[in-house]
Structure 1
Amino acid sequence: MNTTPVIRSLNNSHCKQIIDIILPIQQIEFNVPVTLEGQPDLLDIETNYHQTGGNFWGAMYNEQLIGTISLIAIGNNAGALRKMFVLKEYRGKELGIAQLLLDNLIAYCKQNNITAIYLGTVDMLKAAHRFYEKNGFTRIAKHDLPKSFPLMGADNMFYELHLNN
């Protein structure tokens, strides 16, 4: 039994596990008006993430998927951070799952010459805002996003991070 969290790349064989984490957090915990139909990317991880030059990662703890993060490469050395979710009972600094996930994504960006990361979130996710800001993300207006940024309907707050490769 491995009690150290491990970050690994996920593929289409993990779609059900990914959906089983993300949808309840969005819909039940935070009442975000989003459905699986509005997120078809979750049904084909390889096409929507891997084939863009991005990736989709999961945090495994005791062989259970407990968190996710993904990156869509959007051109011009930029990427869109998506699907960052950690099960409630694994959040916080004790295990540091969110930080491990983000550090993994940033390392991938640096290795792949992605120098800017953009993300969209919703105003009610206050802890997420604090986490992103603590990690150097700055808030930007929607009209300052790259034209290639894939907008999600529910998102109403946006952030960017410029990396020094």
Structure 2
Amino acid sequence: MEKDIRLLYNDACAQVIDIILPIQVHEFNVPITAADQPDLQDLESNYHQGGGGFWGAFVDGELVGTIALINTGHAAGAIRKMFVKKEFRGKELGLAQALLETLMEYSQKNGIRDLYLGTVPQLKAALRFYERNGFAQIAVEHLPPYFPRMAVDTLFYHLEMK
């Protein structure tokens, strides 16, 4: 089985939506549509141009996972769109870990010291994953004013990278 993490651009938007939306809606019952996520229609403007990125995890050439970074300025970034198809999750393949490590390496090389993310309580395994990777839950009022909040998010995490 061949694994690969690489940057994604606008030619992958349809594939990205095909992975993310079913996980959000069918698996975790998050009330969200593709129209609610216009960033997914233009990865380059929303992620790459500001100094962030959008990465995909591939197994045998199939896109099976995503992670994105918005460079918010202030030596900080917001993690978005961290999803892995159900049948490709877990420590065996380690795709979520590889995606996060790719984003963290990119962040460090590009002067980003603080990472923030928002999520929802339904994603229990994701919450444990972030905590295992050193993220600490923070109250919404402790988010920096430049953090781009998503309406559906109710839990927030922060990681200060050394």
TM bucket normalised to smaller: over 0.9
Segments of structure 2 that go 5 or more residues without pairing to the other structure are none
Q: Distance in 2 between matches of 1:5 and 1:32?
A: 29
Q: Distance in 2 between matches of 1:124 and 1:89?
A: 18
The alignment of Structure 1 onto Structure 2 pairs a total of residues equal to 162
Match of 2:107 in 1: 109
Match of 1:125 in 2: 123
Match of 2:84 in 1: 86
Q: If the length of structure 2 is used for normalisation, what is the TM-score? A: 0.99
Q: Distance in 1 between matches of 2:16 and 2:141?
A: 30
Segments of structure 1 that go 5 or more residues without pairing to the other structure are none
Q: Secondary structure at the match of 1:56?
A: strand
Give percent identity, aligned residues only.
58
1:23 aligns with 2:21: yes
Q: Distance in 2 between matches of 1:84 and 1:125?
A: 11
Deviations 1:11-64 (A, max 9, x none): 000000000000000000100011111110000000000011100000011000
Q: Distance in 2 between matches of 1:75 and 1:140?
A: 20
The letter of the residue matching 1:49 is Y
Aligned partner of 1:149 among 133, 147, 159: 147
The letter of the residue matching 1:90 is F
Runs of 4+ in 1 over 3 A off after TM superposition: none
The letter of the residue matching 1:77 is A
- What is the RMSD of the two structures over their aligned residues, measured on CA atoms? 0.5
